[in-house]
Amino acid sequence: MATKIFKHVQTTVVPLPIENIDTDQIIPARFLKATTRDGFGNNLFRDWRFDENDNPKEDFVLNHPTFSGKVLVAGKNFGCGSSREHAAWAISDYGFDAVVSSFFADIFKGNALNNGLLPVQVSDDFLKKIFDAVYADHKAEIEIDLESQTITISSTGEQESFEINPYKKACLINGYDDIDYILSQKGKIEEFELAR
Amino acid sequence: MSEEKKISNHVSLPTGEGRGGATLFDKIWDAHVVSSSEGFPDILYIDTHFIHEVTSPQAFDGLRQRGLPVFRPKQTVATADHNVPTIDQHLPIKEELSRYQVDMLTKNCKEFGVELYGLGHPYQGIVHVIGPELGITRPGGTYVCGDSHTSTHGAFGAIAFGIGTSQVEQVLATQCLLQSRPKRMKIEVNGKLQKGVGAKDIILYIIAQISAAGGTGYAVEYAGDTIRSLSMEGRMTICNMSIEMGARCGLIAPDETTINYVKGREFAPKGEEWDKAVAYWQTLYSDEDAQFDAVLSFKAEDIEPMITYGTNPGMGIGVTQHVPETASFEAKEQGSYKKALDYMGLRDDETLLGKPIDYVFIGSCTNSRIEDLRQVAEFVKGKHKADNVTVWVVPGSKQVQQQAIAEGLDKIFNEAGFPLREPGCSACLGMNEDKIPAGKYCVSTSNRNFEGRQGPNSRTFLASPLTAAASAITGKVTDIREFLAEEVV
């Protein structure tokens, strides 16, 4: 089965300069009861975004009229905690194509890549530059190109390259699927089982 | 202090080019590689795949869309734990969506031929409690589950880690996982623990030292004589929280303690198979000259009873210490730190000792095993909880519950005002009926103190079962050592 493709994005960004954002913040456990992958975007950052009466909290960035875009930019150790893939589904479902941070938790990174949501790890300095650029001008754009593995702040031209596993890169660009790949090696799996 | 600085205080990096002997982790990994190609992650064979109701429905749907069966249903074990109520389990689940999700698991297991230890089954319980107690988790194996606390199973000298739902589908479809080999870290703890300090304090201490991100990218082997002296329950508590420092997994080399624990359990090998298995397990240790990417050492004597004050498990202190001052952090970290303290209703330099609390939760995959319950029961016998505190004791499994009742622990708990409930994840994650109300403080033996983790706007102090029990008795955050000075526990 084909998975969601990611190649390139040029967009304004949503800044969330908080460190150690765990997946319980991205999508609280009480919203994990759905049995399909759709609709989680409505509850993205639920308890930061809405008060106990479900009214939007004005001071939260997703409710802020100024900031919007297809890339979320967040503080280090993004996606720590629970392995819930619902976190990646929620971010993607809300409309983000990529998340930029100076550090990602392992499981979140894997889940994002499996859903066509690109985790872009940049240096602390570059992360600060993005925050500075977007707070100076909310229309500041960044450009992420997967083929060349680069992220660029459009207004200043400042650029950094980022790392990605070459296999996962090929999957994202071509829409390849892990299960199709492993099943192509089914003979080897059966041989392995017999040899044990 | 930044993570980098914290780690550099403890880490010594290997200098040699070659890796020398093999680490425990590499021995197990290498024995499970089906295929390894340059530029691709390894295809890793999974011995047992544990599933539960929350992270599996979309994976089963994926199989249906692909027209695939479960590749090895006999190597797949299911239970219902996250959504289940912990009272009146014989009645239908009240909350509609929870009930639907649990029913969906039953339907999927039936359709795909997977064994389910569902509600009412004598083996039902928290997935990371039942695997070990049934003898499914064994040394040298590979275990995955759509749950980050799968790292628990590493206590047996196994590779075990949490995966996302796409990967659950992958393992259901192929019994394999595409996975890149992580770096290897060794964490040694040597020396004699203070009275009242246990496995939970050790792991909270380590995470406080290296931060909630300090283990990211690593498989962590715990070693040293303090670790060796722990029971299997204690080792599971340690490995369970490996994920709270970001580690891919945690593991401890098997020894007599491990072998004695596994022996005779329901699904443990028997007869000749057992002897063969034990002979193999005895080869599972890191060679003397094995090279790790990082090595950290801690002294057991330095560890106090621990408690967390913030909103990630790395924000922990000794129970007599003070909450750090905002100014002690780098400028870029101060905003996140202040946000955490505001959420917790705490101030710079405050001490938690003596702070009134509202709830005590003893349970979760970290601390709900029979040993945890025995320890708490022994301590609370003849005492009674404070009036201002609600206490929940939630066994990790039906078997733990039955054992506790057989030993009369339920009576001790009842007399102390610590009602013993029925098994499940309970107040660890604010998903089922057991939630801590907004603004309330809970001393919890679970693993996460994230904002809202135990219910919207709940406030969590993570601690050991003994610290939790002592705090329930006094109604405030308590140093267990004050009790132990007066009596022998």
Kindly state whether residues B229 and B325 are assigned to the same domain: no
pLDDT at B15: 39
The pLDDT > 70 percentage for chain B reads: 95
Query: Is B176 part of any known ligand binding site?
Result: no
- A56-84 pLDDT per residue, tens: 999 999 999 899 999 999 999 999 999 99
B14 within some domain? no
- B104-119 pLDDT per residue, tens: 999 999 999 999 999 9
Structural domain boundaries of chain A?
8-195
Chain A positions in Cβ-Cβ contact with residue B216 (cut-off 8 Å): 77, 103, 105-106
Q: Identify which has the larger pLDDT, B255 or B18.
A: B255
**d(C-alpha A169, C-alpha A165), whole Å:** 6
Kindly state whether residues B255 and B130 are assigned to the same domain: yes
**d(C-alpha B253, C-alpha A58), whole Å:** 52
In a mutational test of the B interface, the residue from A35, A52, A190, A191 whose CB has the highest number of chain B CBs within 10 Å is A35
B390 within some domain? yes
User: How many distinct structural domains can be found in chain B?
Assistant: 2
- B32-80 pLDDT per residue, tens: 999 999 889 999 999 999 999 999 999 999 999 999 999 999 999 999 9
* A123 part of contact set with chain B, CB < 8 Å: no
Instruction: Tell which of B274, B297, B320 closes a domain.
Output: B297
Q: Where are the alpha helices (DSSP H) in B159-304?
A: 165-174, 199-210, 225-228, 232-240, 256-262, 271-281
Inspect the interface and report whether the beta carbons of A36 and B104 lie closer than 8 Å.
Answer: no
pLDDT at B485: 79
Inspect the interface and report whether the beta carbons of A18 and B339 lie closer than 8 Å.
Answer: yes
Inspect the interface and report whether the beta carbons of B448 and A22 lie closer than 8 Å.
Answer: yes
Mean pLDDT of A153-180: 96
In a mutational test of the A interface, the residue from B34, B42, B343 whose CB has the highest number of chain A CBs within 10 Å is B34
- B391-404 pLDDT per residue, tens: 999 999 999 999 99
pLDDT at B19: 58
Cα B471 off chain centre by: 22
* A125 part of contact set with chain B, CB < 8 Å: no
Kindly state whether residues B313 and B244 are assigned to the same domain: no
For residue B249, name the pLDDT band (cuts at 50, 70, 90): very high
| Tokens 């099943």, located at residue | A183
Kindly state whether residues B272 and B338 are assigned to the same domain: no
Query: Is B428 part of any known ligand binding site?
Result: yes
- A138-153 pLDDT per residue, tens: 999 999 999 999 999 9
Angle at B462 between CA B377 and CA B368, to 5 degrees: 40
Amino acid at B457: N
Query: Is B442 part of any known ligand binding site?
Result: no
Check the CA dihedral A25-B50-B466-B386 and report its sign.
positive
pLDDT at B158: 98
Count of other CB atoms within 10 angstroms of residue A40: 25
pLDDT at B489 over 70: no
**d(C-alpha B227, C-alpha B223), whole Å:** 6
pLDDT at B3: 43
Taking the CA of residue B449 and the nearest CA in chain A, the distance in Å comes to 10
* A177 part of contact set with chain B, CB < 8 Å: no
pTM over 0.90: yes
Kindly state whether residues B290 and B351 are assigned to the same domain: no
What angle, 0 to 180 degrees and rounded to 10, lies between the N-to-C axes of helices B409-416 and B370-380?
50
User: What residues make up the domain containing B265?
Assistant: 24-297
pLDDT at B487: 59
pLDDT at B287: 97
Kindly state whether residues B72 and B217 are assigned to the same domain: yes
Taking the CA of residue A36 and the nearest CA in chain B, the distance in Å comes to 6
B176 contacts B70 by C-beta, under 8 angstroms: no
- B298-345 pLDDT per residue, tens: 999 999 999 999 999 999 999 999 999 999 999 989 999 999 999 999
Kindly state whether residues B473 and B337 are assigned to the same domain: yes
Kindly state whether residues B99 and B230 are assigned to the same domain: yes
pLDDT at B20: 74
**What mean pLDDT, rounded, does chain B reach?**
95
pLDDT at A38 over 70: yes
Count of other CB atoms within 10 angstroms of residue A123: 11
| Tokens 């695939």, located at residue | B68
pLDDT at B425 over 90: yes
B40 contacts B307 by C-beta, under 8 angstroms: no
Mean pLDDT of B217-235: 98
Indicate the helix (H) or strand (E) that contains B77.
Answer: strand B76-79
Indicate the helix (H) or strand (E) that contains B363.
Answer: none
In B, minimum Cα distance to A38 occurs at B58
Kindly state whether residues B133 and B281 are assigned to the same domain: yes
Mean pLDDT of B357-367: 98
**ipTM for the assembly:** 0.97
Instruction: Tell which of B297, B329, B364 closes a domain.
Output: B297
B29 contacts B159 by C-beta, under 8 angstroms: yes
Cα B287 off chain centre by: 27
pLDDT at B93 over 60: yes
Kindly state whether residues B325 and B218 are assigned to the same domain: no
Chain B positions in Cβ-Cβ contact with residue A76 (cut-off 8 Å): 213
- A107-125 pLDDT per residue, tens: 999 999 999 999 999 999 9
pLDDT at B17: 43
Q: What is the CATH code for A8-195?
A: 3.20.19.10
Chain A positions in Cβ-Cβ contact with residue B314 (cut-off 8 Å): 20
Kindly state whether residues B170 and B116 are assigned to the same domain: yes
Rounded to whole angstroms, what are the CA distances from B235 to B214, B368, B369? 20, 13, 12
Kindly state whether residues B240 and B380 are assigned to the same domain: no
What angle, 0 to 180 degrees and rounded to 10, lies between the N-to-C axes of helices A86-94 and A106-113?
50
**d(C-alpha B323, C-alpha B315), whole Å:** 9
Residue B305 phi/psi, 5-degree rounding, is -55, 130
Looking up residue B357, the CATH number of its domain turns out to be: 3.30.499.10
The pLDDT > 70 percentage for chain A reads: 99
pLDDT at B7 over 60: no
